[in-house]
Structure 1
Amino acid sequence: MQKREFAIKMLLLLLPLLPNLVSQVQSVKCTTNNPVHVQYEWHETGDLVIGAMVSHLYYIVPELFFKKHPSQVVIDTPLVVTKFYQHILALVFAIDEINENPRMLPNVSLGFHIYDSYYDSKITYQNTLDLIFKSHHFVPNYRCGIQKNVIGIIGGLSSDTSWCMANILGLFKIPQISYGSFEPAINDGTKIPSFYRMVPNEDLQYRGIILLLLHFGWKWVGLITPANEAGERFLQTIEKLFFQNGICSAFTERVEFNLNYKSNKLEMIDKRVLFSTLTSYKANAVLVYGESRFIIWLSNILSLMEFTQLLFPREKSHEGKVWITTAQIDFILDSLQKIIDINIRMYHGAISFAIHFKEIHSFKDFLQSIRPHWTDTDGFIKDFWEDAFSCSLSNATLSTNMCTGEEMLESLLAPYFEMSMTGHSYNIYNAVYALAHALNSKHLGRTIHKGREAMEKISPQYVEPWQLHSFLQRISFNNSAGDEIALNENGELAVGLDITNLVTFPNRSYIRVKVGRLDPQAPPGKELTINEDRIKWHRAFTQFCCYDCDPCPEGMISNEKDMETCVSCPADQYPNNDQDLCIPKIPNFLSFDETLAIVSTSSALLFSLITILVLGIFIKHRNTAIVKANNRSLTYVLLISLLLCFLSSLLFIGKPNKVTCLLRQNAFGIVFSVALSSILAKTILVVLAFMATKPGTNIRKWVGKELAYSIVFSSSIVQVGICVLWLATSPPFPDVDMHSVMGEIIFLCNEGSVLIFYCVLGYMGFQATVSFTVAFVARKLPDTFNEAKFITFSMLVFCSVWLSFIPTYLSTRGKYMVAVEIFSIFASGAGLLACIFAPKCYIIVVRPDLNKREQLAQRKV
């Protein structure tokens, strides 16, 4: 455990320290007089030459900025994907077999020229041109020096590399056979007829993915793809198929996985994004699409997650996830990950689509014979050997030992090299034989055409690459492993895919176990076969399941487990807490037996009794000075209006019906409007009474009961008109709301026209504003019993209550909305009653000595 923790910590510590790998290399100008020496190539001469473009090495390059001249700094020593050295050896092995076979291409030797793409499009273009034209000098469209006689080129591993090569080779009609590209866009028979590939169409893999997920019942799947054109094409296709088959994507991550230097620090783009995604989602099945090098990047992320799990045990980790990978991906680690001790065991139990392959007789013996000095022309073996065995072939240092040259390839772990032929190596082997059989078919056809029985030597000078297309398009042969190799009309290998299970071991190695087969020739429904007994799942599985069910959306239920869809409850029912049963909704209205209704009813009766008591006091003392001075008639009208306001609140209690719905808002609006009209009339009369005392004025004749009644009537009739219009056009009516509150049916009065309802409130607000303005102006007039100052304060209370009412009313539902309006009626009515009448009742009841005409005369200012 301590060793593993130390290794993971080293991963985090070494990443920012990698700039010591960077060295300065002078750029080389390529001219015909100054030949370019390519270090990483392997060239063996022959009568005819087969070219190849492999992906074995890659560089970490510095980030370029436009503020200064592009940097010439590169890493002098590339990172080596040691496992892919087998691709090179597979090609050499196949050519050696053909040269030693007297029945294949008699009297003709095959040579080869192998370049590396470095996973870089610019270098791929250059090296493709080198394969065609360069011997000692590079002159496009000219063959200078030794004739190479390239009759076909094998490559590349990825669709990007294959596409770059096809752009050039298609112009010269040179056969190109890709050994790893699945992308359909590359294979366009009308656009690039010289392109062939030793893999099936990618549509087969899409179909296989769906069949695999449905077989295991995995319908909650995460998707991880590279952020490029191929990744987008994959997502567009697979997500459509997911939808058609009832499979959901838990998350979709498009990631950049290139390594770049930035400010002398090695950065893995988007590592935090993917880390957060993998630890946040419940989906345990994760489908990974991309090329093999993506696994290098993903391994770093998973190692970081594992380290986080050690530090924070409660954090979710990647354990328990099933990794599903496409056939383009091989489980590899590079030389850098070997140094920092990345372990492949995190992929234990992974299910992979794999290129079909069989063991080739004597290939393992061939690998066992490989030694670092077995040939002088292999430009790849030095870096491979030193990285694979952590030694030096040239000089030892403090960190490395000298290589003995007797190290054995079979001692290497599977992530770095396999002794069994991999799927990509198998494709290269078959591609070499396809070119050889095409040459053989051309030679036999020429011999038969001449009518000669003896085998004739092929003349290299008469062999043109374009002549092989007619033979490759109908190629069909059995290889040494017994597999039939045949291309269909699209230049694709007519073969299925294997399903493999990755089984890892404590020593950081693994084996790939074939657990199934995807056969496009099988009858419908039987294309996929899986032997579940051979599958070794991740050790974190106790009860295997690759997805967690999400709860149904609010308002829906599922009465069975693992259902794909949820169902809605009837309108009058709602789901229980477990969302597996619908239960009746509870009625919601302010019934008389509820505490809130009892308090409201008691308050209405209490305020009504207080109002009646005040009215009785004023009637009993109607002939006293204070009652006469404040206009008895308007006082009675105001008190009766307040009484009706308090009683109108009772219409809001109980289950709404047609009568209460028609009356509640209209009655409330009219009686409050009458009350406000009375207050306005009282205020205006105070102002006119003061103005009438001035000499020479004619206003005295206007002061009287007729004016007061006119003000009350004219001001109230407007509100009455609004309410009549409301009842005539869109009256309120009983209604139910089944959706606003979960589990409840709200019985309410639908206001009919919301606009008119707010017009009623708005007109009350207008009345209150006018009354407040007039009262505020008259509050300091010299009158002993001037009530304008009390009206001013009462209007402040009234306006505050109803301004607060509107947002509160709109934010509540059901019986609490009704309670808000009842409270507003009580608060505003009680405010008017207390502010206007409390001081007068105090004088009438407690200080009757001040309620005299003599006191009025003495206290006038």
Structure 2
Amino acid sequence: MFERIRHTMLILELLLLKSVLIRTEQTVCKRQGKAQLPEFVKDGALKIGGIFTFYTGYTGVIPKFNRLPPQPKCKDINYREFKFACTMIFTIEEINKNPNILPNHTLGYEIFNACGFSNILQSALSLSNGQDDITDEINCTKANTVQAIIGHSGSTPTIGFARITGRFHIPVISHFATCACLSNRKEFPSFFRTIPSDYYQSRALAQLVKHFGWTWVGALSNDNDYGKTGIATFIKAAQEEGVCIEYSEAFESTGSKTSLTNIVDIIRTSSSKVIMAFMSHREIKILVDELYRQNVTGLQWIGSDAWITDDSLADSQGHNLLIGSIGFSVSNAQIPGLGPFLQDINPSQFPKSMFLKEFWENVFQCSLSPSSKLKACNGSEHLKYVKHPFTDVSDLRFINNVYTAVYAIAHALHNLLSCKQQKLQFTNGTCAQSTTIQPWQVVHYLQTVNFSMNGGETLFFDSEGNSPARYELVNLQKVTKGTMEVATIGYYDATQPRGQQFTMNNVNIIWGGGLKTVPVSVCTESCPLGTRKAVQQGRPICCFDCIPCPSGEISNTTDASDCVKCPFGYWSNSRGDECIIKTVEFLSFTEIMGIILMMFGLLGAFLTVFIFVVFFHHRDTPIVKANNSELSFLLLFSLTLCFLCSLTFIGRPTEWSCMLRHTAFGITFVLCISCVLGKTIVVLMAFRATLPGSNVMKWFGPLQQRISVVSFTLVQVLICVLWLTLSPPFPYMNMHYYREKIILECRLGSAVGFWAVLAYIGLLAVLCFIFAFLARKLPDNFNEAKFITFSMLIFCSVWIAFIPAYLSTPGKLTVAVEIFAILASSYSLLICIFIPKCYVILLRPDANTKKAFIKKNVTLT
């Protein structure tokens, strides 16, 4: 259908060019075909043309171009279009009465009622050629072209004739054609408009959709230039705003029933609940009627200015489905005197107008022809006694565009005839005369007009013929018979900086579907804090999965595209929406594990001191004397230090504590093992001393015992000094083992030093175990070696198990393993060597006498 219309437009353009050639080449001037007559005419020195469609629809056949097509049959009166024409008449008469504009000149008009695309083009050709017959058969250069044309309301018809009139530089000012394609100065060099281009409306609608959080919408449009261009611009702008389009469909009121049914099915099955309808009132009326018949409800409509305030929608069956619709419309205005003028319209003013008679009969439900079955009327009726949309001047949004367009032409003609502004130089440097005005001159002065209407906003045209883009955001809140009640809920001004263009006021909004809150229309619910969006394969970016941020990364905004890594020393919380300082882990005195280990360490030290006191108190008894009391006391002292050195491993590691804990542990344990080794050697030497002729005890008396203990200990001291000098242990914040926390530990510095300390302790322990093992079968009076053997067996087992446990446990568990090894080995020595003797001293004092001691074969060591 659309291609055929373009074909028709091209044929008519060629016919126009042919008629121009005929007029210039033929010597006899003859009208080609029958001229289309205007609906309203008034003579004047300067004349303005108007093209309006007083009917909503028409029936006709598609022309085949093999014969003259018949005139289409118009139907359904469009009161708004008729009001446009009457406003044009009112404005021209107002200007004619104004002595400050075009003094000594009168404005006339020719207004066509063009129904159907071909009629609209024919009307434009008539205004371009003139209607007067030329009687001079030789001079065919007489022209009666209007100075400018106002119209049409539709973008596609306007494109058709504006492209033609542009070839002859005849200015066209539209009050309602919003297609952005008309801003192309190459194709439409003489086109202007007093309504903003859809280029701005589409972007405003995209910002509106984004403002309410609708990221998943459907898009519908007319299947013509207006709808396709507008919806394409909207889709592009919406995608720039992060809005996704679930579907985009187009249809025409003259299209098939199947295409309409398919669109309704798409709407019903779609998941989006917001629909952007970039179409005229004719298409939206047909669509909502079909939705009403199929009971498709619960939709939020966003409308273009072509239908959002159109009162004719109130007559549709499904008008209630549109309640809650929002969209942009041009600003409302007041035109003083227009209301009474419309009420005074009467068929007698234009006796040749057939439409005005039809209008009159429709309003008053009467007939101006006596033969009709309706009641008779004679034109004396008055419109002021009838409540009718035609006389309603409460909403003059687009009416004001016609009013402004006429004034723009008048100001341009006034400046032209006054030689104002740029003092355009014409032939011989003179100003233009009303009888010699050329269309291109009017175009030039239209481009430079700049005036204010009734102290309101200033009108001017940019280089593309567009007026400033200012809109009101309106909300359809109520529909009554023949009237749509809207409320202004916001504003849009494209002349403002980005970010300040769209504003809302505090008017309550009625939403579509009967909702009291803002409808939700998203493909996927917003991703909460702590998650990021992951686009679903093969679907738009608005359809996504919410993936939790990995450990160490956060998202503190909804619908975050990516998670952000936490700074050094920080980690994500459990919700993944905030970076918190990493937990510092070390074995402290305040946690359960630290308290338990500390208690066992202190308990061991207390028991050792207790045993020391017991031994000291009974130092003169046989059992204490027989057990080498000097080494016993030194061993108890070293065991006390062993228990206490375990406490240095608990608490926050510092530079001094790290050096102290390992060296104190190494030296005290060597001192302890040296004492045990000394006791074991004494046992062996004592046995050998009982053999005949043996004098070995003189080589291992008390002095030699002291020297051996000191010597063994000094070796460990030397190892520790070298370790501390070359590469000592130091506190270290380990951030690699655990990503979510910091392990505060003591690094060994030199691993060789640490393992040398352990190896030396192990060497002494192995020697002690071997000597004790060799002495285990000595006579019963030397049986302490059995206890030493058992204690060293436990000691060695503990430290052998310590090595893999130490290497495999992380963080504070490493420290706990080391403390456990220290305590376990210390308790093994304490219990195995001293507890049996304490039992005899405290619980068997009768056995702690020399007589009983010898009699019962108590060990004499």
Shorter-normalised TM-score: what interval? 0.5 to 0.7
User: How many correspondences in the alignment?
Assistant: 513
Number of the residue aligned with 1:275: 264
- What's the CA shift for 1:521? 2.5
State the shift of 1:46 in Å. 0.6
Pairing 1:567–2:546 present: yes
2:532–2:548 contact (8 Å) kept in structure 1: no
Q: Distance in 1 between matches of 2:56 and 2:480?
A: 29
Decide whether the 8 Å contact of 1:296 with 1:332 is kept in 2. Answer: no
Partner residue, 2:151: 155
Which residue type is aligned with residue 75 of structure 2? P
CA contact (8 A) 1:198 1:431 kept: yes
**CA offsets per residue over residues 749-778 of structure 1, 9 Å max, x none?**
xxxxxxxxxxxxxxxxxxxxxxxxxxxxxx
User: Greater Rg, structure 1 or structure 2?
Assistant: 2
Tell me the alpha carbon deviations over residues 400-439 of structure 1, each in whole angstroms, 9 at most, x when there is no partner.
775765252684555x774235332211111111111111
| Cα 1:128–1:506 shift into 2, 3 Å | closer
Give 1:526's match in structure 2, choosing from 491, 496, 500.
Answer: 500
1:199 Cα offset (Å): 2.2
Instruction: Tell me the residue number matched to 1:589.
Output: none
Is 1:245 equivalent to 2:224 in the alignment?
no
Ranges in structure 1 where 5+ consecutive residues have no aligned partner: 1-29, 260-266, 310-316, 451-455, 572-581, 583-861
State the distance in 2 between where 1:185 and 1:106 align.
37
Partner of 2:78 in structure 1? 81
Q: 1:551 & 1:90 partners in 2: Cα distance?
A: 50
Aligned to 1:100: 97
User: After the TM superposition, which residues 807-846 of structure 1 pair with which residues of structure 2 at under 5 Å, given as runs?
Assistant: none
Distance 2:364 2:30 in 1: 39
Residue in 2 aligned with 1:359? 334
| Distance in 2 (alpha carbons) for counterparts of 1:173 and 1:240 | 33
Find the counterpart in structure 1 of residue 434 from structure 2: 460
Shift of 1:364: 1.5
SS in 2 for 1:170: helix
Query: Which residue, 359, 362, 368 being the options, matches 1:384?
Result: 359
1:332-347 aligned at under 5 Å gives the runs 332=310, 342=317, 344-347=319-322
Aligned equivalent of 1:212: 208
CA contact (8 A) 1:344 1:508 kept: no
The 8 Å contact of residues 133 and 144 in structure 1, kept in 2 or not, is answered as: no
Asked whether 1:116 is paired with 2:113, we answer yes
Q: Contact between 1:39 and 1:379, CA under 8 Å: does it hold in 2?
A: no
Give the match for residue 855 of structure 1.
none
Q: Alpha-carbon deviation of 1:324?
A: 0.9
Q: Percent identity?
A: 22
Cross-structure match for 2:415 = 441
CA distance in 2, matches of 1:410, 1:243: 51
Give deviations 1:635-675, integer Å, cap 9, x for gaps: xxxxxxxxxxxxxxxxxxxxxxxxxxxxxxxxxxxxxxxxx
Tell me if the contact between 1:257 and 1:268 (Cα under 8 Å) persists in the aligned partners. Answer: no
1:56 shift after superposition: 2.3
CA 1:419 to 1:343, structure 2 compared with 1: closer, same or farther past 3 Å?
A: farther
Pair 139,308 (structure 1): closer, same or farther in 2 beyond 3 Å: farther
Relative distance call for 1:163 and 1:549 in structure 2 (3 A) is: closer
2:301 pairs with 1:323: yes
1:302 paired to 2:288: yes
Task: Quote the offset at 1:545 in angstroms.
Answer: 1.2
Q: Aligned residue for 2:348?
A: 373
Distance across 2 between alignment mates of 1:194 and 1:348: 39
Deviation, structure 1 residue 131: 0.8
Q: Measured at CA, do residues 221 and 34 of structure 1 come closer, stay the same or move farther in structure 2, by a change above 3 Å?
A: closer
Indicate how the Cα distance of structure 1 residues 114 and 568 shifts in structure 2: closer, same or farther if over 3 A, else same: same
1:545 aligns with 2:519: yes
SS of 2:101 mapped into structure 1: coil
SS at match of 2:247: strand
- CA-CA distance at 1:44 after TM superposition: 0.7
Paired position in structure 1 for 2:274: 285
Specify whether residues 182 and 73 from structure 1 end up closer, same or farther in structure 2 by C-alpha distance, changes over 3 A only: closer
SS in 2 for 1:224: strand
Query: Which residues in structure 2 correspond to 1:593-742 (within 5 Å)?
Result: none
Q: CA deviation at 1:91?
A: 0.5
- Alpha carbons 1:179, 1:199 under 8 Å: kept: yes
Distance 2:55 2:159 in 1: 19
In structure 2, what is the equivalent of residue 47 of structure 1?
A: 45
Matched residue type, 2:94: E
Amino acid at match of 1:44: K
Deviations 1:218-267 (A, max 9, x none): 112111112234433334333233333221223222213216xxxxxxx6
Match of 2:444 among 448, 463, 470: 470
Counterpart-to-counterpart distance in 2, 1:540 and 1:449: 60
Asked if the contact 1:220/1:283 (under 8 Å) is kept, the reply is yes
How far is 1:482 from its partner? 2.2
- Which residue pairs with 1:264 in the alignment? none
Give the 3 Å change call, closer, same or farther, for CA 37–168 of structure 1 in structure 2: closer
One-letter identity of the residue aligned with 2:216: W
Deviations 1:577-626 (A, max 9, x none): xxxxx9xxxxxxxxxxxxxxxxxxxxxxxxxxxxxxxxxxxxxxxxxxxx
| Aligned counterpart, 2:324 | 349
- Kept after mapping to 1: 8 A contact 2:203/2:238: no
Q: Distance in 2 between matches of 1:87 and 1:392?
A: 25
- Distance in 2 between residues matched to 1:70 and 1:269, nearest whole Å: 31
Q: Please tell me the residue identity of whatever aligns with 1:565.
A: F
The CA deviation string for residues 81-124 of structure 1, in whole angstroms up to 9 with x for no partner, is 1221111011101100100111111111100001133240x222
Is the contact made by 1:255 and 1:269 (CA closer than 8 Å) also made in structure 2?
no
Amino acid at match of 2:276: L
**2:498 paired with 1:500:** no
Q: TM-score w.r.t. structure 2 length?
A: 0.53
Kept in 2: contact 1:106–1:457 (CA 8 A): no
Q: How does 1:738-817 map to 2 (within 5 A)?
A: none
1:134 to 116, 130, 135: 130
Cα distance per residue 1:343-374 (max 9 Å; x no partner): 63332121121123411111112112222333
Q: Is the 8 A contact 1:223 1:287 kept in 2?
A: yes
Deviation string 1:713-751 (CA, Å, 9 cap, x unpaired) is xxxxxxxxxxxxxxxxxxxxxxxxxxxxxxxxxxxxxxx
Q: Give yes or no for contact 1:49–1:148 (8 Å, CA) kept in 2.
A: no
Which whole-Å deviations, capped at 9, do the CAs of 1:387-412 have from their partners, x for residues lacking one?
44444332464577757652526845
Residues 390 and 141 of structure 1: CA distance in aligned 2, closer, same or farther (over 3 Å): farther
How far apart, in 1, do the equivalents of 2:90 and 2:31 lie?
Answer: 35
Cα distance between partner residues in 1 of 2:185 and 2:399: 25
- The secondary structure found in structure 1 opposite 2:268 is helix
Matched to 1:489, the amino acid is: S
1:423 maps to 2:397: yes
CA distance change for structure 1 residues 257 and 106 in 2, over 3 Å: closer, same or farther?
A: same
Q: Distance in 2 between matches of 1:59 and 1:139?
A: 38
The answer as to whether partners of 2:149 and 2:171 remain within 8 angstroms in 1 is yes
| C-alpha separation in 2, matches of 1:248 and 1:424 | 31
CA distance in 2 between partners of 1:141 and 1:505 (Å): 60
Cα distance in 2 for residues equivalent to 1:169 and 1:75: 23
Q: Any conservation in 2 of the 1:166–1:192 contact (CA below 8 Å)?
A: yes
Contact 2:60 2:73 in 1 (8 A): no
In structure 2, do the counterparts of structure 1 residues 78 and 37 end up closer, same or farther at CA, with 3 Å as the change threshold? farther
Letter in 1 for 2:546: V
How far is 1:214 from its partner? 1.6
Q: Is the 8 A contact 2:149 2:173 kept in 1?
A: yes
Name the TM-score, length of structure 1 as normaliser.
0.53
In structure 1, what residue type is equivalent to 2:113?
Answer: D
The CA distance in 1 between the partners of 2:148 and 2:50, in whole Å, is 8
Q: C-alpha displacement at 1:458, in angstroms?
A: 8.2
Alignment-mate amino acid for residue 545 of structure 2: C
Matches within 5 A, 1:158-177: 158-177=154-173
Partner of 1:585: none
